[in-house]
């Protein structure tokens, strides 16, 4: 297991302003993926397990809940309303939609990290005790005679014991069951789990799609200048756009971007000022910094292809920077030395 990516970890919890996917009825983009699920469902031969992969915050969980609501509300794939459906959309006032939003739908099981009552914080993994609930859940009869659906959000957060427990369910699924596994890094999912699922990869959203989805989540009109800026810096992720849609986060991103554009030149005074902006224990400031740097490195890697030596230097810088950032967060280290270290690595990579 490699050291976690600070930017990715910080995005694991949606911003407070964003509704949870169980409450989200709007799906922006991913029309082809939705059509794949709808066609499979009404064929009455839908695979019992799906691995829905893609970047964080692009709508994977939203799509999973969308399918879950549709199947629970329309348990007969041959029904006329299913055969004529153009999407998986369900009226928000439908009883199933309302029960799902209220976490009161008995035929839907959600496996995710929960609060540790001793610390008041989320557990770092989905505990195996939670995964074992799937055995009794799928072993019982659906309350309304239809489907039993479980959403694992995300399968990346299972430890080895939890993954093995889930595998037992995947190997012998009961009839009329759906397991929807969400993954931010599908290539890292255990091959034994991946091989028993139908893989459905979602693409990053366009800037305009991110803007529309973020505007809907915030109940704002699209066209807001700061929202557009947040969408442009979100790398296709609505979650990132919502996290950036804050005056201090956008200001920090502008400062980091300005310094990155000057590389390999480094302004020591400006780095001191940036270090001051990052001081404190607010996790979002560090994740915004790391996300902006990673976005820069990603673009440079694309430009470097096929220069293997240059790509290797950039990839090494990426690994060192994210490792240092993870240490800074985990051990609550001073942020200013991290800023100087990061820009020293970037300047060296830019010069060579």
Max Cα-Cα span within the chain: 68
User: Above 50 in pLDDT, residue 11?
Assistant: no
Q: Which tens digits make up the pLDDT trace of 255-278? A: 999 999 999 999 999 999 999 998
User: Above 90 in pLDDT, residue 104?
Assistant: yes
Q: Which tens digits make up the pLDDT trace of 315-343? A: 999 999 999 998 988 888 899 999 999 99
Going by pLDDT thresholds of 50, 70 and 90, the confidence category of residue 10 is very low
Q: Enter the pTM of the model.
A: 0.80
3-state DSSP call for residue 121? strand
Of 46-55, 135-144, 179-188, 259-268, minimum mean pLDDT range: 135-144
Q: What is the spatial distance between Cα 96 and Cα 346, in angstroms, rounded to a whole number? A: 51
Report in angstroms the alpha-carbon separations of 341 from 135, 271, 344: 49, 10, 5
Q: State mean pLDDT over 200-226.
A: 89
Model pLDDT, residue 281: 57
Q: What is the spatial distance between Cα 11 and Cα 155, in angstroms, rounded to a whole number? A: 16
Q: In the chain, which residue ranges form alpha helices assigned H by DSSP?
A: 6-10, 31-42, 60-73, 80-83, 95-101, 128-131, 133-139, 160-171, 191-194, 207-218, 225-232, 238-244, 247-262, 268-278, 283-304, 308-330, 335-351
Task: Tell me the torsion sign for CA atoms 247, 238, 156, 3.
Answer: negative
User: Above 50 in pLDDT, residue 8?
Assistant: no
User: Above 50 in pLDDT, residue 9?
Assistant: no
Q: Residues 149-179, buried b or exposed e (16+ Cβ, 10 A)?
A: bbbbbbbbbbeeebbebbeebbeebeebbbb
CB < 8 Å & 24+ apart, contacts of 291-296 = 291/7, 291/235, 291/240, 292/233, 292/252, 292/253, 292/256, 292/257, 292/260, 293/256, 293/260, 293/321, 293/342, 293/346, 294/5, 294/7, 294/318, 294/321, 294/322, 295/233, 295/235, 296/257, 296/260, 296/346
CATH class of 6-201: alpha beta
> Is there a contact between 72 and 147 (Cβ–Cβ < 8 Å)?
yes
């Amino acid at each position: 297991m490699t050291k976690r990516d600070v930017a990715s970890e910080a995005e694991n919890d949606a911003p407070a302003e964003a509704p949870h996917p169980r409450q989200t009825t709007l799906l922006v983009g991913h029309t082809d993926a939705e059509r794949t699920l709808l066609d499979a469902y009404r064929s009455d031969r839908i695979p019992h397990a799906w691995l829905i992969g893609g970047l964080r915050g692009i709508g994977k969980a939203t799509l999973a809940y969308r399918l879950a609501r549709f199947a629970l509300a329309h348990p007969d794939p041959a029904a006329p309303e299913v055969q004529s459906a153009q999407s998986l959309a369900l009226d928000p006032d439908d009883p199933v939609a309302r029960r799902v939003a209220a976490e009161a739908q008995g035929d839907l099981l959600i496996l995710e990290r929960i609060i540790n009552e001793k610390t008041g914080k989320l557990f770092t993994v989905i505990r195996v005790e939670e995964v074992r609930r799937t055995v009794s859940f799928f072993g019982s009869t659906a309350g309304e005679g239809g489907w039993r659906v479980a959403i694992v959000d995300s399968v990346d957060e299972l430890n080895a014991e939890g993954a093995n427990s889930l595998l037992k369910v995947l190997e012998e699924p009961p009839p009329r069951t759906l397991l929807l596994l969400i993954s931010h890094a599908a290539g890292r999912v255990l091959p034994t789990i991946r091989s028993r699922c139908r893989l459905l990869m979602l693409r990053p959203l366009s800037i305009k799609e991110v803007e529309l989805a973020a505007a809907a989540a915030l109940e704002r009109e699209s066209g807001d200048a700061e929202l557009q800026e947040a969408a442009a810096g979100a790398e296709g992720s609505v979650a990132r756009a919502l996290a950036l849609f804050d005056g201090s986060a956008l200001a920090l991103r502008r400062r980091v971007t300005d310094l990155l554009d000057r590389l390999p030149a480094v302004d020591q005074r400006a780095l001191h000022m940036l270090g001051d902006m990052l001081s404190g224990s607010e996790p979002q400031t560090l994740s915004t910094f790391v996300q902006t740097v990673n976005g820069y490195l990603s673009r440079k890697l694309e430009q470097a292809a096929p220069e293997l030596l240059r790509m290797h230097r950039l990839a090494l810088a990426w690994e060192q920077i994210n490792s240092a950032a993870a240490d800074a967060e985990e051990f609550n280290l001073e942020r200013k030395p991290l800023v100087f270290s990061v820009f020293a690595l970037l300047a060296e990579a830019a010069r060579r």
